[in-house]
Amino acid sequence: MADQSPILARLDAALTDALADWNIYTTLFAGILVAFAFYAVVSNKDPDVHPFLLARQSTASPIRQSGESATYRSLETPYGLPLRQGLNVKDVGAPKWTAGRRGDLRDVWKSAVRGALNENGISTGKQGKIYTVLGKKSIEHSLDQVTQEINVIGGHIQKSEVKTVAVCLTDSIELLAAIFAGSFYGFKVVLVPHNLPAETLSGHLQNAKADALIAEAGSLDLSFVTKGNKQLSLVIWVAKDGNRHMDWHEVPEDVKGGLEVAVWHELVQEGKDLAGFNVPKYDPTTPAPEVSTVWPSESPSGEFIDFKQENLVAAIGALGSTLPRNQRFSPSDLVFSIDSLSRSYPLCQILNALFSNASIALNSVAGENVDFALATNGVSPTVIVASSRTMSEYHEGVMKPHTGLVSSFGRWVQSRTLNAGNMPPKGFFRQLAQIGPTAELSLQKLRLLCISHRVDADASVRLSSEQLTDLRIYTGARILYALTGPGIAGAIAQTNVFDYRCLGGPSHFGGPLSSTEVTLTGVSESQVAGDSLPEGQIMVTGPAVVDGKTTLSARARISADHTLELSS
Amino acid sequence: MTIATPINLTLLSLVGVLLYWHFRPKQPTTLPRAPAPIVFRTYTPKTLIEFNGENDRPVFLAVRGRVFDVSPGRHFYGPGGPYENFAGRDASRGLAHQSFDEDMLTKDLSAPLDTLEDLDADPLENLQSWEERFNEKYLVVGKLVAEGDPEAPAS
């Protein structure tokens, strides 16, 4: 009659039978089960950012023109709100409730010299530092010293009544001083990439109608340059430590009388006592002159981009505000650019660092194509600004070949954390992952890697999302990946710093910055009507764009998560 | 002592399930597609009149050549509302005079647009404030041109 016994009794009997089989293996399995369940609960963390913010990274306008996509904007400045215009500078003594000024480069330097503010907005007087990296060593400069150079050189150029100054220097404090001197002393600065052949440089000077030139002593043949540039009336040589003993005052025969040749360090030496350490007084309502850069293009001469101060400050403000508060540049940061300051993204990031009172480091070899390991040798930065070419070549050439089995296992563990939306903590697995790929780096403090990609650069240097994941794991830094274009200060779009998703294929570029808005033009109506993603030429408008609007020849797509993606 | 007892097998499969649950590949979060944006169009009085809110169609009205989608304010501008005369029409003159009468509208839909040239400063100011209000609240979905204007879409 066992069949008719109550169901509970039968269950009890079955359980007793099962438990009767309990042996050492059972204990083992039960132990594993409990331990794993415990681990799963303990290791569970909230992602760094709410997944919905990554699922839709920009806002689309509710209306569009025929043949165009909707206009996409950063989440900070949605449709109907004004785009970011500038730095929002609050002058001392201005009423608290007034909106800040847009500001210009003079305000950037002024706030760098003023030092960091505490929570109450009172200056603590703690200034950032400037380091110049030379191979394995770095030299420290104080901001006051640079202010002095700004005053001396600016004063000298002002006296010479020069309107346009071409600056052809490697990244150095002289380059920085020249840029700020232009803003304070009222002359236009044209940043010409260094290492150009003499004919190209001469052509640039003609195009820019430069009447003064600041260049590295011995880097170019002056008689050749002056031949094609009769308007040139002042040349300032910047002599490196090693060749300061030489006489650089020689003037080519045919322009004697019309041309003044001076040497930077001698001018500074002479004018030092008169110039003083104070930031020159200025009237914020008077506009500061433009800063021009050269955009490399198909033609050997490149394309001149005249950035108004408004363009630059909008970009600097947007680059600063786009980062979440705890990721912004702070006085404890050391921002190091291994990409040339004659390019607008590194320039704006460095200016952003100065405005945020961070320390900065400059490297004379900086450029679009540098050896990442060598360039970062002499300094331990918290933020690195680099180009996509530099990073892609380092990844292909060094990281990938040096990833062994052990590193791959470490990478796998860490990429799981990344996919869950968390930056992997420093620890055992990170060390495991970094054994091979970054053995030669000494970037202990690195927390942020700002990578910019030129819209017209070679498609092979575009970083894939796999590569970005690798870079996050192997360097232990978060990544900003930005798209830059001619005529746009800073960047068009930039990834969210907390976006660790690995979606496969070439990486997207996030949403537009708050100083730009992006519309795709030349979109076929049939495509929009269907369910497919709009694809067309990138049209960028906004305060960071020279003349307010530009259309690039490159084609792009807006993905389902409202990020900008270049079409291949 | 054997491994293959029922309780061991149960525990083992539980471990398996838990492992799979923990390490299973996860898809990133996605949101549903946003509503498709409205296409900016050029209207003439004859095409605009379709959008008078009847039969659940959207309610449009034009102010000084700009067409606003006032569907969110259907209770005011739609059928049965106090401003229903404006639905699908050029409302500039009516808004300027603060009058909702039929005679404020241009009767002949093929006529050129009302230039409002005879208006004084006061009604113009009134119109201005209406326009600002519309700009804040409603979307501009198109522009209004007269019938036969070179910009008018061929019908």
Interface test with A, best of B13, B39, B69, B141 (most A CBs within 10 A): B39
Can you state the percent helix, strand and coil of chain B, rounding each to 5? 40, 15, 45
Q: Tell me what pLDDT residue B8 has.
A: 87
Show which of residues 417-436 on chain A sit within 8 Å of chain B, judged by CB atoms.
419-420
Q: Residue A80 — pLDDT band, cuts 50, 70, 90? A: confident
CA of A422, closest CA in chain B: separation in Å? 13
Q: Are the beta carbons of A495 and A509 closer than 8 angstroms?
A: yes
Q: Supply the pTM of this predicted model.
A: 0.90
Q: Which helix (H) or strand (E) holds A216?
A: strand A212-216
Whether A528 and chain B come into contact, CB under 8 Å, resolves to yes
Q: Tell me what pLDDT residue A528 has.
A: 65
CA of A52, closest CA in chain B: separation in Å? 7
Q: Is the pLDDT of residue A463 over 90?
A: yes
The number of C-beta contacts closer than 8 angstroms across A and B is 88
Q: Is the pLDDT of residue B2 over 90?
A: no
Which of A37, A54, A60 is the closest to B18 by Cβ?
A: A37
Overall average pLDDT of the B67-93 stretch: 89
List of residues 6+ apart from A58 with CB closer than 8 A: A72, A73, A74, A75, A511, A512, A562, A563
Domain ranges of chain B: 41-144
Q: Tell me what pLDDT residue B113 has.
A: 85
CA distance A57 to A73: 9
List of residues 6+ apart from A128 with CB closer than 8 A: A112, A143, A331, A353, A354, A357, A358, A359, A360
Strands across the sheet containing B66-69: B41-43, B139-144, B66-69, B60-63
Q: Residue A317 — pLDDT band, cuts 50, 70, 90? A: very high
Overall average pLDDT of the A446-475 stretch: 93
Q: Is the pLDDT of residue A103 over 70?
A: yes
Q: Are the beta carbons of A175 and A366 closer than 8 angstroms?
A: no
Q: Tell me what pLDDT residue A444 has.
A: 86
Which of B12, B29, B39 is the closest to A52 by Cβ?
A: B29
The residues that bridge with A138 in the sheet, in sequence order, are A133
Q: Is the pLDDT of residue A491 over 70?
A: yes
- Residue percentage of chain B with pLDDT more than 90: 21
Q: Residue A299 — pLDDT band, cuts 50, 70, 90? A: low
**Do A25 and B34 count as a contact with CB atoms less than 8 A apart?**
no
CA of B118, closest CA in chain A: separation in Å? 33
Q: Tell me what pLDDT residue A568 has.
A: 72
Paired sense of beta strands A260-263 and A234-238, if any = parallel
Q: Is the pLDDT of residue A435 over 80?
A: no
Q: Is the pLDDT of residue A300 over 70?
A: no
Range with the poorest average pLDDT among A210-219, A355-364, A487-496, B110-119: B110-119
Architecture of domain B41-144: Roll (3.10)
Range with the poorest average pLDDT among A223-227, A296-300, A448-452: A296-300
> Which chain B residue's Cα is nearest to A19?
B7
- CB-CB neighbors (< 8 A) of B17 in chain A: none
Whether A24 and chain B come into contact, CB under 8 Å, resolves to yes
Both tokens assigned to B83: 């401003």
CA distance A389 to A371: 10
Q: Is A305 helix (H, G, I), strand (E, B) or coil?
A: strand
Paired sense of beta strands A68-74 and A517-521, if any = antiparallel
Q: Return mean pLDDT, chain A.
A: 89
Both tokens assigned to A14: 């079955």
Q: Is A100 helix (H, G, I), strand (E, B) or coil?
A: coil
Overall average pLDDT of the B53-79 stretch: 90
> For residue A123, what is the DSSP state?
B
Q: Angle CA(A344)–CA(A345)–CA(A347) in degrees, nearest 5?
A: 65
Q: Is A2 helix (H, G, I), strand (E, B) or coil?
A: helix
CA of A37, closest CA in chain B: separation in Å? 8
Range with the poorest average pLDDT among A276-285, A552-561, B49-58, B101-110: B101-110
Which of B7, B34, B39 is the closest to A18 by Cβ?
A: B7
Q: Tell me what pLDDT residue B112 has.
A: 84
> Which chain B residue's Cα is nearest to A40?
B22
In order, the DSSP letters of A388-418 are HHHHHHHIIIIITTT--HHHHHHHHHHHHHH
Q: Tell me what pLDDT residue A158 has.
A: 93
CA of A35, closest CA in chain B: separation in Å? 10
CA distance A501 to A481: 13
Q: Tell me what pLDDT residue B155 has.
A: 56
> Which chain A residue's Cα is nearest to B136?
A80
Burial degree of A405 (CB within 10 A; 0-12, 13-18, 19+): exposed
**Do A66 and B41 count as a contact with CB atoms less than 8 A apart?**
yes
CA distance A370 to A413: 31
Q: Is the pLDDT of residue A565 over 60?
A: yes
**Do B5 and A26 count as a contact with CB atoms less than 8 A apart?**
yes
Q: Tell me what pLDDT residue A4 has.
A: 64
List of residues 6+ apart from A505 with CB closer than 8 A: A464, A465
In order, the DSSP letters of A438-498 are TTT---TT--EEEEEEETTS-GGGSPBHHHHHHHHHHH--EEEEEEE-TTBSS-SEE--TT
- ipTM of predicted complex: 0.82
Q: Residue A400 — pLDDT band, cuts 50, 70, 90? A: confident
List of residues 6+ apart from A343 with CB closer than 8 A: A293, A368, A387, A452, A484
Residue-wise pLDDT tens digits, A3-26: 567 889 999 998 888 888 888 888
Residue-wise pLDDT tens digits, A34-75: 999 998 888 888 899 999 999 999 999 999 998 899 999 999
Q: Residue A529 — pLDDT band, cuts 50, 70, 90? A: low
**Do A29 and B33 count as a contact with CB atoms less than 8 A apart?**
no
Overall average pLDDT of the A131-155 stretch: 91
- CB-CB neighbors (< 8 A) of A56 in chain B: 31, 34
CA distance A224 to A262: 18
In order, the DSSP letters of B27-53 are PPP--PPPPPPEEPEEE-HHHHTT-BS
Show which of residues 12-71 on chain B sit within 8 Å of chain A, judged by CB atoms.
12, 14-15, 18-19, 22-23, 26, 28-31, 33-41
Which domains does chain A carry? 2-42 (no CATH), 51-83+313-566 (3.40.50.980), 130-307 (3.40.50.980)
> For residue A236, what is the DSSP state?
E
> Between these two residues, A408 and A529, which has the higher pLDDT value?
A408
Largest CA distance in chain A: 126
Overall average pLDDT of the A220-226 stretch: 86
Q: Is the pLDDT of residue A530 over 70?
A: no
Q: Tell me what pLDDT residue A301 has.
A: 67
- CB-CB neighbors (< 8 A) of B14 in chain A: 33
Range with the poorest average pLDDT among A394-403, A554-563, B26-35, B49-58: B26-35
Paired sense of beta strands A334-337 and A383-387, if any = parallel
> For residue A36, what is the DSSP state?
H
Continuous H helices in A95-221: 105-114, 143-159, 173-185, 198-208
Q: Is the pLDDT of residue A2 over 60?
A: no
Paired sense of beta strands A130-134 and A137-141, if any = antiparallel
Q: Tell me what pLDDT residue A350 has.
A: 97
- CB-CB neighbors (< 8 A) of A419 in chain B: 26, 28
Q: Tell me what pLDDT residue A453 has.
A: 95
Interface test with B, best of A15, A17, A27, A32 (most B CBs within 10 A): A32
Q: Tell me what pLDDT residue A391 has.
A: 95
CA of A393, closest CA in chain B: separation in Å? 29
